[in-house]
Structure 1
């Protein structure tokens, strides 16, 4: 499924059958009949256009109505849950950020936008300083560059904002790292989910990932629903052809699937010693509009995906959400308790399956 193809196809209206003309030997009668036929076709086209417009309007109203049935204010409600495990590592090098309401960081919102949310996972390597720096600074850089006021092409402005934000955060960290004695050599992946009203923008570097669980109706007598797993991010490692070519053009080499035989990712924040070898901080950007059928987003570092496929992780979470009764806690609904349990159990299961790496999971529920 193309995540950018987020508009329904226009309603198709069947073309009318062509009128059958009677034969006449009188040229004037033929001309009159032709004029009448053209007028009739013109009126029919006018009626068809009006019907098509009405069908499209009704279809759009039905779609809006479907979302409003799920979410009273017309926008999905987002809640983030996080679980972090150190695994067998000596230190925790992951970092994360949950900002369900980012509006307090913004000076002003773009016209017609009522909500901005931000969630991110950073997986550090060579130390925890790059991941911590990104967690503390990237969303502030994003807030400074975020579009405001009346905007004609918000998608284009947000794309530019995200690209500029990643570049600025990388430059700021590299400047700080190079000023240290000895210089810091830390680096970090980054996978950030920015939600503007009901539109999700994902920017990622490296091998942390984001996946969406969307429920689809299978049809049939029982009208059952099945889960569909949609990838919201793209991995960046030196074994991918385009990544390897860029590294080699920059004078670097790829050995044993790593840059210079050492670095596992081909894009990152930090890693100053590899920037001259073609390692860049330009994120891959994807966009996806949320629907009434979307259940949750999993945002996690590669520690989870070393032992879970994306589809397995989605089905594991669904299994926990569908389990029986849960222990009640003050201030939390049953739905919130289920999502919290699913997030914690998913991270713990990754460790149980033998992942020795740090594991950080953000589970983002989508509902009312």
Structure 2
């Protein structure tokens, strides 16, 4: 990322956008999100870089207007970056909505963003891409996937508060299987928005409607249509042959994880791997870490080693006989990968 004006705060930015329903939303996000983030960071940069009171007390970032209240809330400089990322995603989503409507296009995309700033790495995720930290003796997840299953309770609660969103075509309740007419009056397991466990109920006619979330694992779909529950775009997306919109159930706000890089005793092979779901469909965190640890130590003199590692990770998903994992696993999805070295002597990061 370019140096910010006024305070000249400098950082680095990486982003992966995985499109669905066409490439339009992903292209717009790639061309827009970094500009939105820059604007949001510029709005708070004064509070991020000041090092003396009244801007900072006890290491916390303090607003000049009400320092005592900010102090009581424990607001820190990293909270301003998190807020900037959340606002940038929201702003970018609004831009995508306007642009797609104006051009008559449709589509959406997931977004996984990493920002290196002031000794910390911020990973913001909206969708089902994933980032992990790989070190010699550690594998640390830096994001969580957002799918209809992982956000079941949030989605069900929204349908509970606004039942009109389902247009009387769907049931918000979850059952272990799709119910049929023969199940009427039978006792079956179910769970609602307020439940993490399961209970029993007698099947009523309304329970036979198509479920709000149907399927399991990779086959789970929101309103029978979409496999993700967060992302950008999809403003025009509707359930097939209905006027039911999916957008109210989708969040553009990311979850942000903060990695305090300055507190790590970094080694040259310490990296962050960011990849779209196509990689993680066939490789586990442990398999990816094994490939990283197998490749990097023997290629320290290669200036392109991180880019080559990214290519190797993709190669490992293509079912080749010479796959480094020794397994013929095939991903039928698009795969994009960033390998980001954290050691200060290995600046940058490579993707493929």
Q: What is the distance in 2 between the residues matched to 1:126 and 1:334?
A: 42
**Equivalent residue, structure 1, for 2:337:** 361
Alignment of 1:185-264 (within 5 A): 185-215=106-136, 227-240=137-150, 241-246=152-157, 248-249=159-160, 250=162, 251-252=165-166, 253-256=212-215, 257-264=220-227
Partner SS for 1:292: coil
Q: What is the distance in 1 between the residues matched to 2:22 and 2:93?
A: 16
**Equivalent residue, structure 1, for 2:95:** 172
Cα drift, residue 214 of structure 1: 2.7
1:286 to 257, 263, 267: 257
Query: 1:320, 1:341 within 8 Å by CA — same for their partners in 2?
Result: no
Partner SS for 1:334: coil
**Equivalent residue, structure 1, for 2:13:** 118
Matched, 1:341 2:321: no
Alignment of 1:12-31 (within 5 A): none
Root-mean-square deviation over aligned CA pairs = 1.9
The 1:180/1:158 distance shift into structure 2, 3 A limit, reads same
The 1:301/1:109 distance shift into structure 2, 3 A limit, reads farther
Q: What is the distance in 2 between the residues matched to 1:301 and 1:285?
A: 17
Partner SS for 1:336: coil
**Equivalent residue, structure 1, for 2:2:** 103
The 1:236/1:342 distance shift into structure 2, 3 A limit, reads same
Q: Which runs of 5+ in 1 are unaligned?
A: 1-101, 216-226, 327-332
Cα drift, residue 277 of structure 1: 3.8
Query: 1:212, 1:296 within 8 Å by CA — same for their partners in 2?
Result: yes
Query: 1:120, 1:190 within 8 Å by CA — same for their partners in 2?
Result: yes
Partner SS for 2:336: strand
Which TM-score applies when normalising by structure 1? 0.62
Larger Rg: 1
Matched, 1:350 2:317: yes
The 1:228/1:169 distance shift into structure 2, 3 A limit, reads same
The 1:317/1:246 distance shift into structure 2, 3 A limit, reads farther
User: How many residues matched?
Assistant: 242
Q: What is the distance in 1 between the residues matched to 2:17 and 2:7?
A: 26
Q: Which runs of 5+ in 2 are unaligned?
A: 56-60, 62-75, 167-211, 238-244, 320-328, 346-352
Query: 1:166, 1:282 within 8 Å by CA — same for their partners in 2?
Result: yes
Matched, 1:316 2:291: yes
Structure 1 ranges of 4+ moved more than 6 A: none
Q: For residues 150-169 of structure 1, give each alpha carbon's deviation from its aligned partner in whole angstroms, at most 9, with x where no partner exists.
A: 35231121121111100000
Cα drift, residue 199 of structure 1: 0.5
Query: 1:246, 1:278 within 8 Å by CA — same for their partners in 2?
Result: no
The 1:314/1:108 distance shift into structure 2, 3 A limit, reads farther
